[in-house]
Each structure stands twice: as C-alpha cells, then as structure tokens.
A and B are shown apart, each in its own frame.
Chain A
Amino acid sequence: MTDPHKEPRKSLNFRFRGADVALNGFAPRATLLDWLREEAGATGTKEGCGEGDCGACTIVLARNRDGALTHEAANACVLLLGQVDGAEVLTVEDLAEGANLHPVQQAMVDQHGSQCGFCTPGIVMSLFALYHRGEPATRASICDQLAGNLCRCTGYRPIVDAALETCLGEPADRFAIHAEARAEALAAIADEKDLFVGDDSAFFAAPASERSLAELCDRHKDAVLLGGATDVGLWITKMLRDPRKIIWLGRVAGLDRMETVAEGLDIYATTSLQRAMPRLAELHPDLGEIMRRFGSAQVRVAGTVGGNIANGSPIGDLPPALIALGASVELRHGEASRVLPLEQFFIAYGKQDRQPGEYVRRIHAPRLKANQHYRAFKVSKRFDEDISAVMSGFRFTLEGRRVIEARIAYGGMAATPKRASGAEKALVGADLDNPTSWSAAIAAIATDYSPLTDMRATSAYRSRVAANLLMKALLEVAGGHSATRIGGLHAAE
C-alpha cells in the first residue's frame, strides 16, 4: 500500500479472554460493543445510551506504553472495533476467578453498591481501571473516574466507598501478578506495519507512519479521519451514517506525543485528552480544571486533542481556552505544512480551514509571560461530563495595573469558537483597580455575540453569563478578598 518493503497487515489483532484474536473481515463502522455482545456473546457489557455518556458499556483496554502496562477505561459503544488493535480487551466477565470475586467486585457487594445492576459492570470496570492506577484513591479521584458512569439507583455513595476501600495503591490482583506475561503477549502481536482491513471501497485503515497517513489521505480524500471516535462514534450509532472508509490515526508514530519547546507546549494531534491534561495544567491550573471536566475519564482516554480541534464544534471545550492563550495549529498535507492562529481555523459552523487530504498535526500552546494573566471558565448544567452552555478563556497582558492587551474567546456564543473583538479593544487601557473602567468591555460582549437559544441555555442567559464571566476574570486578576468560585480555586471557604 505505501512502503513497498512493508506490506500492510490485513488483520486486526488484539487479545481477548487470554488469547490472540485476529479478524480480517469486519464492517469498518463496527463497534467494539456490538462485537462483544453479538459476535463474542459477552453480554456482561451493557448498552445504556450508545453515545458514550452513561458508561454501562465501560471496558478496560490494557496496552504497553512507555515500558509499562496501562489499564484505561473506555466506552465500548463508541469505540470502533478497529481501535482495539494491539490492545488487551478486558470486560467484566474477566475479573472474577471462579467463585472469587475481584477486590473491586467484592467491595461493591460488601458496600451494597449495586441495586438494579445494569450500570454495575461498567462501574466495576471503571473501578478496575482506577485500582490499576496504583495510587491511593481519593474522593476527588474516584468522582473523576466515575464521572462517565451514570447510576440511577444508588446515589453513588456506596460505590465511592467501595473504591475508597479497595483502590489503596499498588495493585495486587492476578492481573498485576501476571502483568509481565500479559505485556509479553501484547508485545508479540505488536508491529510497526500499517493496518488495512478491507478493500479500496470499504476499509478500516490504521497507518503506522505520517508518510503512510499522507498517502492514504491523498488517495482517499473521502475517508473519515478518526481520532478517538468520541464524536464519529455517534455519527454511526445515532445518525446511522455508514462511513465506508475510515482512517484511524491512533497508530501513527510520532503523533501521540507532547514536547516542551521554548515558547510553550507542542501537542501532537493524537495525544489523548487524558494525557494532555497534566501538561496543560502546568500552563495554567484553569486549563487543568477545564480538562478535568472535559467529558469523562472514558472520553478523555479515547478523545484526542487534535480531534477536538479538527471536529470544529462550536461547543468544544478546548478551542476557546486555547484561542485565548494564543495557540496555533499546524496542518499537514503530504510534506507540506502550514501554521494558523487557532481562531482562523474555524471558518463557519461545520466548516474548518482544512483542505481535502490535509490533517491536523500539532497544536502549539504558548506559555504565559510574567505580565500575562489567564483564566478559563466553563458553565454547564452539570459540573462533570457535560457540554458547556458557555465556555470562556481570557488572557490579559498587564503593564502595572493597566491592561495593555486582552485576548478573550468564547464557545457556545456563536457558530464557531470566536474572539470577543469589541470587548478585547474596549479593555485595552482598563485599570484593574477601577472596576468602572471595565464596564465598556463587559458591555461590549452584548454586541460581540448573538448567541442562540437551545436546550443548554437561552440566548439571554448566555449573553448575561458571558459578560459576568469577563467580570469574574477581571475580579480575580485584580485580586481581592471575596470568594468568586464555588469549587476549586478561589472557592468560598
């Protein structure tokens, strides 16, 4: 297909129930959940919503990464089957050993953590992933891990207690005991070949190099580029689209990495949101909090930074936060590449500045200078695992107590993530110690945007909150003793 010396591999390879599985024929759009329930007869994993929001289908993927065996919880309903290439797929049926329940299962029984039981397999798998993180769990880390697991019966308290009881640090279950053998089994099915299952009319491809990727993109300009499938999965399960050509970026060498450069951080496209979280948090704690509230653990593990940008959603959480920071995006077409300020990438609703055959390669997030202050806020009906009604990012550059430059960007306020040009201008010269000097900028939000009314919020609310968030950002940067947040930083004591 690409490199004449390296024939693509024609079968999908993964580990399941302790054995190698090789599949050389499957529908490109097949999901892991359908394969589990309909082909493998493994009905322990449930479908609750089919869109990666409820977590009833949570499974764990084990992979060799950076010399260690990692265990990550994922939503099988919006994970395409091809994406498990090279992984060990663990489901709830794998955990118990005969009559002996796994520690997280036993704790769920002891704490009365199941009632109707339908969410339970997914919850058990999320807790299993947490157990294998190897750190003592805290209430906060448990709630983060469970944000993508809805339970309608218990009120979660016994589930959190079950996790507190078992996720104590170094894992000691049989999966840990056999970690070495499992890692070797995974190493045995790993290769650096391109994966191509199907034919030129319908295929699931996973190129292993940027060169192969570029060639595939060129040859199949109509192919869907797949990052983590947290959105493309819904095209399939909900809109019932039938994408016949899918190019998954997850195996492309060199795209799943981050690099600290002199001016900031380079995040390559397939870096998962989960892995980007701590590095973005280093740039500013608000970015870390935005990332923590981004989807759920399952979504952050699958979803990619590049996908969140390339998707072009007006309500993606990252673009406004990164635009305010002054981020840029690199697009690649074959050997050619171009770099755009991130805001210029978003042209109109559903339309991005991405040419056929081009792909998002890298995001550059600059570091704040000593005289720059940053804030980012997300407002949604629910704190965790919700889509923002309004997302906002602010960067104020100061000279003394005076604002000399402002970058302000919002999501949910227009058809694209968009800067508040009027407010930005009006803020130049504002004095942090004189709140009346802020009012022109706050008032300008009303003319910068004409937001829509939808199920998340009315237009009036969005406008009001957007203006209030600018005030909040200024209040915080100005300093002062009043609490401005109800959780996390600047919280009421």
Chain B
Amino acid sequence: MLRNRTAIPQVPLEKETAVVHKPLAHDSARLHVSGAATYIDDIREPAGTLHIAIGLADKAAGTLRGMTLDAVRAAKGVVAVLTAADIPGKNDIAPAFADEPLFADKEILFHNQAIFAVVARSRDEARRAARLAKIDIDEAKPAITVADALETGARVLPDYEFGRGDAPAALGRAPRRLEGLLHIGGQEHFYLEGQAAFAIPGEGREMLVHSSTQDPTEVQHIVARILAIPDAFVTVETRRMGGAFGGKESQACAWAAIAALAALVTGKPCKVRLDRDDDFALTGKRHDFRADWRVGYDDKGIVSAYDVMLNARCGCSADLSPGVVDRAMFHAANAYWLPDVKVASRRLKTNTVSNTAFRGFGGPQGMLAIERVMDAIAHERGLDPLDVRKANFYRPGGDKTPFGQTVEDMTTLPSMIEELELSSDYRARRRAIEAFNANSPYIKRGIALTPVKFGISFTLIHLNQAGALVHVYTDGSIHLNHGGTEMGQGLFTKVAQVVAEEFGVPIDFVRITATNTAKVPNASPTAASSGSDINGMAAQIGARQIKQRMVEFACAQWGVTAEEIVFRDGLVLIGNKSMSFGELAKTCRLNRVQLSAAGFYKTPVITWDRATATGRPFLYFAFGASCSEVVIDTLTGEMKVERVDILHDVGSSLNPALDIGQVEGGFVQGMGWLTTEELVFDAKGRLSTHAPATYKIPVASDVPADFRTKLHMRPNIADTIYRSKAVGEPPLMLPISVYCAILDAVHAIRPGSQPRLEAPCTPEAILNAIQSIQTH
C-alpha cells in the first residue's frame, strides 16, 4: 500500500530560529480532536437564550406586496417576529454601495432572500414558525444566467478595462488567431460550520456579538448601522470559524445583525445558526464567469495579442464584486507576457444571491481562461502545451503585467517549472499516455503541467494594515491578540510563533486569544492571503516595543549593553546573569516598565490608481506549479485524477506543516471547483443544489492516490515577516492542471480538434466536450 506520507520539510535557514519556521501543530489541534474547541453554537447559553430562524422569499424577482405573519406570531414558542419595520437604523448590510437590505422591504432581489426573522424559545420552534408565513410577491421575470444579464444589460457596477497597446489591431496582424467562449462555474464555500452569530445585550444598548466571521470590524459596523448605535457600543468577538474561505467576510454580517436586532428587541441573548439549506440559499458564492477570448500568436505558439472579456455574474448587488472582478482581471495573464493586451470586464446583475469573496477572489477565473487559451494554441499547432506555456513566460523585455506592474522575480517560476517537469517525469509520462491512448478506444488519459502566479496584497490599498495587542504578565505568560481571525488556516499559530521567537520563549508561553474589536480596532478582514503577512508583522512590532523596554530597563538596572542581553529558551541572559523571562517581567513591573504594547503595520511600496490603471498593486507574487494526470471514460464522461505533483512557493515558511496543509487543502478545494462542484439554478432562479446531497465537494477517494506535495522555500525577495510568503489562496489555482489534463484526454480522441470543455468538468460536461469534437 502506497503511503502518501508527505514529508514536512525543514526550512533552509541562514540564521537558526527556535520557534519560527518550525512545523508546530495547529494551536487548537488537541481541542479539535477531543471535541473541546468551541464554535458559536457550542458557547454555553445563558438562561433565557432565544433562537432565530429566517423567513424567505419564495420568488426570485418582483415586488413585495405584503405578508401575513399572524400564524407565525401565534406559533408555539414564538417570542417576536422581526421585519424591516423593526430596524431602528438603516436597513442596509452592503459593504459599500447601499444596495442590499437586511430584510427585503420592497423589491425582491433573489429567491429565498430574507424577508423576516422569527425569534422563538427553541430553534426547532423558530424554524417551524417561519414556514407559516404568507408572502405576497408580485412576481417579475428573473434574470438568472450570464446570458440573461447580457440581454437585460443590467450591471451592479460600471464596466472596466485596462490593457496595453492595441489588442484588436495586433490580433489583426497576428499570423494565427483563435477565439472561444469559456463558461466557468461558481462555487459554494461549504464551510463545515454554517453561518452563526450569538448576540448578548448589555447595559445601555451595548451589544456583544459572537460571530463566525473573517471580518469582525465589518460586522461591528453593520450591527451598529442596523441598531443605530455608535460603533463603540458594539463588541464583536471571534475565537475561531469552522471554515470560511471568503464566505464569512461580508456574508457573516446579516446574521450578526439579525441576532443583535433580536437581542435589542427582546432584551434576551439571541442566537442564529442557519440550517445548511438556508445557508446555501442565503449566502453568496464564487462568481461564475463567461470568458470571451481572442488570441493572436505565431507558428511557434508565441502570443502577440490577447483580448478577453470577463463576464462576471455578480448576482443581485455589488457586495465585494468590485475587488473580485478586478482581481480576475489582474490574473488574466497569469505567468505570461502578452505584448498587446486588452482585459475587459462586465459586472453583471442577476436575480440571484450576491456573489462574494471565495479563496482566490476572482483570480482563479481570470487564470483559468488564459490557461485554456494556452492549450488551444498548443492543440492548433500540434505542440506540447507545456512548451507553449514556457515560450510565453515573462522574460527579459517582456516583464510587465497587463496592468503595468513589473514582475521583479522572473526566475523563480521558470525554475520551479523545470524542477517539476523533471521530478514529475512529465515528458516520459506524456509519451506513455500517448501510447496508451492509441490503443484504448473508450478510456483515455491526459496530463498537464500548469503554473500559478498570484499577486499578494489587498488591491483596495487601505486594507493593507494590521494591528496587534501584546501583554506580558509578571509570570512571563504572554497574551496575544491581533486583528486577524482563525478559520483553520493556522494564523494564530503562526503569529504566536513570531511573538514567541521575539521573546525567546517556548510557544506555550503565548496565550492566543479571540479576535475582538475592543482589543484591536479597525482591523481588515482576514482575506487576500494577507493574514500572517500583516498580522505577523504587527505582532512582531508590538512584541519588539515591549522587548525594547525590557532591554533598556535591564541595561540600566544591571549596567550592561543591549548586545549583552539575550532572550532564549524562556530565559534572559543579561551579561553573566541569567533569569527566567517571568522574573525579568516581574522586575520590570516593580520598576514601572510598561509591559503592554499595540503593534501596527502597513504594507509599504504598494499603490494602485484604478482610474488610470497604473501603479503597483502587489507587494510580491506567490508562485506554484502542478502536474496532474487524469483518466476519463468516453462512454460516460466519468473522470478520475490519478496522480498529482505539486511544487509550491512559500518563501521561508513560517510553519512548513501548516503550509503543506494549505497547499494540499487548497488544491483539493480547487479541484472540486473544477470537477464535481456544480451550482444549478433553475429557470425560476431557485438553487437546486442546496445541500451536500446535491452539491458534491471532494471526498477522500477523490484525492489522487498518488499525491506528491513539495514546498519551494527560498526567502521572499520582498521584506515580509521572516521572508515568508502568503499561502492561503494561491494553491487553489494549482488544480487548473486537472482541468487542462481532462482537456488533454478529450483532445486525444481527435488530435488537432478544439473541444468545448466547460468548468466544472462533471461527467456531463466531459461527455459534452467529447460530443463537441465527434464528427458524425
């Protein structure tokens, strides 16, 4: 039996560290495995806690004429029924554009939109009561698909484009041209812990909200806006989420606001935990796209012009779509030099739930399109797709992205591709696959090796800031808090490693505490892969302030120089004196030295002027490469991923064990997006894949039996925390090689053809692709 024991590698170091760069376990691992980690629904309920269920619109579009809620109010256990009329503040949960209400009050925006909430003594009673409402909606014809929206012309935001040169003219001059449409499906986050919030009213309109959110600060703002109270009256706390993946950024606000509203109205602690089906219906997903592309190239497959229109289905409101679609555009070139290029976008409005952040934030869709194009060129030219990719990489004289940022590190990715090509035995396996396919009429194999280049930094520049709060107590224990949230990625562990390293103490000296808007205010969402980059820096800055004060005190107290003081293994060596870290802390207190500090960090260098499409939006790029081999059944369209080799760039990893987890987990999640995970909306705008019975994320057997993950660890050229690199989102794009390998297998049926393979590659999509190239 082959054991896929992925070895946790050692980080190659110039300078030895004690805690940072070590493969420590997730700080909550022991709690997780014993069922002792507390999620929102596990918080012990104060007596009298009430429970909430949401009342849903049964139409996707139209006007709300009225509702009869008498039966709901009269139902067993019901304490209150809340509608838009009960909101003391503004009925608006939108992050920026005031285009999404908490409860529909006039226009119905999407099927199953929230219209009211029931507050009852038990969750079961609340759910049953919610179904007794009579909702009267004057139904209008909904726009559901990309095509519908293109027909209505509705947008959530204006179209936007950038580029270089004159792509249409360059296409006209190109020796060879291809064009196509690629449908790219959306994706449900399917965090295992559904949306949940628990609001506890305090004195004088204060409100404490436990929220499963990536963005406690935004939740605080929305709760304050709904309740019409100052931000300072609202405290939002998040210890951990049971998964988020972007789905608990803006999408966590509504439930926190409803819980807080219920708590305000009833004066009781109120909890909402969405049923899974409601969660599917009520929360946004990854945007589905239609990429309309044209490419010009020469006989060697070298691209001279690329013109792509990214039609993004944003759903009923803007939400985070401005950033998502911009990021799709930023990644439309992936790793390739495209001399004349036009990247355009439409932010389409439909009567569907508002699409939102999801790991990669649009980048995956932009990237998939150009990788599809590379295969199209290779197929037309009869070249190995890997050679076409390599021929188009950024290169001296061709080192600028379509948005004008210079790719400073041009060597890392090509060297990783070379390494993976060898270690995966790509060339020999391609030959073996060709030989197999020649003799196998029904079963075909395919292989692909694809690159990832992902820009790191929030493209909304002001979000690139972070705060941390560090206290040292007199026993030497350290209380750590920062604005980042823990959703499973191991952020808390990484930041604690940074702080422990700074004070020269073992990791268990550092007590990691729940993210709380009262401790670190005005934080950015934990998103854009930025968590450890910015919070790690902020915590290090905070810890260094305290350490500096301790050192200064020790110098004065014991007459030594700062160079003579070493913090190591929980001890402080002061000249020839040694004391425990706690003893020094205690002595500091007795001498009135402040042992608490707030750290603050803002990412340097980056700029972006959207109006002129100029600047440098990314501090650096994270790279990756993967090689996937698949087998397909041409009679049914069924597919299996047989082997995957990954080489992923994490800089000088803060924690190689956690990074391997992000890489493997991201790969499998992205593989699900491109294969089994299909969102189906019917003509009335109803999501018919609204539960795990119908929406299929990967299970253990979908993971390739031969799965080889390696980290590429060279210090980041940018000055990041310990020269590490962000790792949250980039691996999600590695399984584009799975899509391309499926395309390769289909293409093997009729070499030289251009199959139309849509994503996700369900058995039906694969059979359709096969049908698209069959001649009869």
Taking Cβ atoms with an 8 Å cutoff, the residues of A that contact B are 34, 37, 42-51, 53-54, 56, 91-93, 95-96, 101, 105-106, 108-110, 112-121, 124, 138-139, 142-144, 146-147, 149-161, 164, 238, 240, 377, 379-387, 389, 454-458, 461, 464-465, 468-469, 471-472, 475, 482-487, 492
Chain A residues, CB < 8 A from B689: 455
Residue pairs across A and B with Cβ atoms less than 8 A apart, 26 shown, are A43-B35, A43-B42, A49-B276, A92-B33, A101-B30, A108-B32, A108-B33, A112-B658, A112-B660, A115-B489, A115-B661, A116-B243, A116-B244, A118-B39, A147-B699, A151-B192, A152-B189, A152-B191, A155-B669, A156-B698, A383-B701, A384-B701, A457-B763, A461-B768, A464-B767, A484-B443
Please tell me if B680 contacts chain A, counting CB pairs below 8 Å.
yes
Known contacts A109-B29, A142-B700; can you find 9 more A-B pairs with CB under 8 A?
Answer: A45-B35, A46-B193, A110-B25, A115-B489, A121-B35, A143-B700, A147-B699, A152-B245, A381-B763
Most chain A CB within a 10 A radius of its CB, from B3, B443, B768:
B443
Residues in B677-725 with C-beta less than 8 Å from chain A: 678, 680, 688-689, 691-694, 696-703, 705, 707, 709
Chain A residues, CB < 8 A from B697: 150, 152
How far apart sit A153 and B189, CA to CA, in the bound complex (Å)? Answer: 11
Q: A44-B36, A112-B29 are in contact. Are A240 and B693 (CB under 8 A)?
A: no
A486 touches B763 (CB 8 A): no
A156 touches B703 (CB 8 A): yes
| Contact among A144, A155, A381 for B703, CB-based, below 8 A | A155
Shortest distance from the beta carbon of A474 to any chain B beta carbon, whole Å: 11
How far apart sit A161 and B709, CA to CA, in the bound complex (Å)? Answer: 14
A152 touches B669 (CB 8 A): yes
Most chain A CB within a 10 A radius of its CB, from B33, B127, B693:
B33
Chain B residues, CB < 8 A from A139: 1-2, 705
Shortest distance from the beta carbon of B437 to any chain A beta carbon, whole Å: 10
Residues in B1-59 with C-beta less than 8 Å from chain A: 1-6, 8, 23, 25-26, 28-39, 41-42
B33 touches A154 (CB 8 A): no
How far apart sit A56 and B32, CA to CA, in the bound complex (Å)? Answer: 12
B4 touches A157 (CB 8 A): yes
A53 touches B1 (CB 8 A): no
Per-residue CB proximity of B435-457 to A under 8 Å, as 1/0?
A: 01001111101000000000000
Chain A residues, CB < 8 A from B240: 116-117
Q: A51-B276, A117-B242, A139-B1 are in contact. Are A486 and B638 (CB under 8 A)?
A: yes
Q: A117-B31, A379-B636, A492-B445 are in contact. Are A54 and B767 (CB under 8 A)?
A: no
A interface majority secondary structure = loop
A53 touches B33 (CB 8 A): no
B707 touches A386 (CB 8 A): no
Please tell me if B764 contacts chain A, counting CB pairs below 8 Å.
yes
Shortest distance from the beta carbon of A45 to any chain B beta carbon, whole Å: 7
* Minimal Cβ-Cβ distance residue in A for B677: A381
Chain A residues, CB < 8 A from B665: 115, 152-155
* Minimal Cβ-Cβ distance residue in A for B635: A468
Per-residue CB proximity of B655-666 to A under 8 Å, as 1/0?
A: 001101100111
Most chain A CB within a 10 A radius of its CB, from B4, B667, B688, B768:
B4
| Contact among A92, A110, A151, A483 for B35, CB-based, below 8 A | A92
Shortest distance from the beta carbon of A426 to any chain B beta carbon, whole Å: 19
| Contact among A45, A93, A381 for B676, CB-based, below 8 A | A381
* Minimal Cβ-Cβ distance residue in B for A490: B443
How far apart sit A143 and B699, CA to CA, in the bound complex (Å)? Answer: 8
* Minimal Cβ-Cβ distance residue in B for A240: B128
Residues in B248-285 with C-beta less than 8 Å from chain A: 275-277
Chain A residues, CB < 8 A from B170: none
B636 touches A475 (CB 8 A): no
Chain A residues, CB < 8 A from B483: none
How far apart sit A46 and B42, CA to CA, in the bound complex (Å)? Answer: 9
A118 touches B243 (CB 8 A): yes
Please tell me if B376 contacts chain A, counting CB pairs below 8 Å.
no
How far apart sit A249 and B310, CA to CA, in the bound complex (Å)? Answer: 56
Please tell me if B190 contacts chain A, counting CB pairs below 8 Å.
yes
Q: A46-B192, A118-B39, A119-B192 are in contact. Are A150 and B699 (CB under 8 A)?
A: yes
How far apart sit A485 and B41, CA to CA, in the bound complex (Å)? Answer: 45
Please tell me if B640 contacts chain A, counting CB pairs below 8 Å.
yes
Q: A152-B191, A154-B661 are in contact. Are A114 and B33 (CB under 8 A)?
A: yes
How far apart sit A464 and B770, CA to CA, in the bound complex (Å)? Answer: 12
A471 touches B635 (CB 8 A): yes
B4 touches A160 (CB 8 A): yes
Chain A residues, CB < 8 A from B190: 150, 152
* Minimal Cβ-Cβ distance residue in A for B663: A155
Question: How extensive is the interface on chain B, given as a class?
Answer: 35 or more
Chain B residues, CB < 8 A from A150: 190, 192, 692, 697, 699
How far apart sit A422 and B608, CA to CA, in the bound complex (Å)? Answer: 67
Please tell me if B632 contacts chain A, counting CB pairs below 8 Å.
yes
* Minimal Cβ-Cβ distance residue in A for B488: A116
How far apart sit A195 and B417, CA to CA, in the bound complex (Å)? Answer: 67
B4 touches A161 (CB 8 A): yes
Residues in B217-241 with C-beta less than 8 Å from chain A: 240-241
| Contact among B191, B275, B488, B667 for A155, CB-based, below 8 A | B667
Q: A151-B192, A240-B127 are in contact. Are A382 and B35 (CB under 8 A)?
A: no
Chain B residues, CB < 8 A from A37: 41
B440 touches A46 (CB 8 A): no
* Minimal Cβ-Cβ distance residue in B for A162: B33
Chain A residues, CB < 8 A from B6: 157-158, 161
Please tell me if B647 contacts chain A, counting CB pairs below 8 Å.
no
B660 touches A461 (CB 8 A): no
A492 touches B443 (CB 8 A): yes
Please tell me if B305 contacts chain A, counting CB pairs below 8 Å.
no
B669 touches A157 (CB 8 A): no
A469 touches B636 (CB 8 A): yes
B242 touches A118 (CB 8 A): yes
Please tell me if B94 contacts chain A, counting CB pairs below 8 Å.
no
Chain A residues, CB < 8 A from B194: 48
A116 touches B241 (CB 8 A): yes
How far apart sit A305 and B692, CA to CA, in the bound complex (Å)? Answer: 23
Please tell me if B668 contacts chain A, counting CB pairs below 8 Å.
yes
A54 touches B692 (CB 8 A): yes
B29 touches A384 (CB 8 A): no
* Minimal Cβ-Cβ distance residue in B for A382: B696
* Minimal Cβ-Cβ distance residue in B for A52: B693
B192 touches A147 (CB 8 A): no
Please tell me if B633 contacts chain A, counting CB pairs below 8 Å.
yes
| Contact among B36, B127, B191, B763 for A379, CB-based, below 8 A | B763
A117 touches B32 (CB 8 A): yes
Q: A51-B692, A157-B6, A160-B4 are in contact. Are A457 and B35 (CB under 8 A)?
A: no
Chain B residues, CB < 8 A from A457: 763-764
B702 touches A164 (CB 8 A): no
B691 touches A51 (CB 8 A): yes
A109 touches B640 (CB 8 A): no
A116 touches B764 (CB 8 A): no
Chain A residues, CB < 8 A from B35: 42-45, 91-93, 121, 124
Shortest distance from the beta carbon of A379 to any chain B beta carbon, whole Å: 5
How far apart sit A377 and B637, CA to CA, in the bound complex (Å)? Answer: 13
How far apart sit A120 and B34, CA to CA, in the bound complex (Å)? Answer: 9
B661 touches A158 (CB 8 A): yes
B276 touches A115 (CB 8 A): no
How far apart sit A48 and B336, CA to CA, in the bound complex (Å)? Answer: 41
3 interchain residue pairs of minimum CB distance: A44-B35, A116-B488, A118-B242
Please tell me if B540 contacts chain A, counting CB pairs below 8 Å.
no
Q: A48-B276, A161-B3, A164-B3 are in contact. Are A116 and B242 (CB under 8 A)?
A: yes
* Minimal Cβ-Cβ distance residue in A for B689: A455
Please tell me if B595 contacts chain A, counting CB pairs below 8 Å.
no
Please tell me if B108 contacts chain A, counting CB pairs below 8 Å.
no
Chain B residues, CB < 8 A from A93: 34-36
* Minimal Cβ-Cβ distance residue in B for A156: B700
How far apart sit A124 and B34, CA to CA, in the bound complex (Å)? Answer: 8
How far apart sit A45 and B762, CA to CA, in the bound complex (Å)? Answer: 33
Most chain A CB within a 10 A radius of its CB, from B2, B36, B245:
B36
Please tell me if B487 contacts chain A, counting CB pairs below 8 Å.
yes
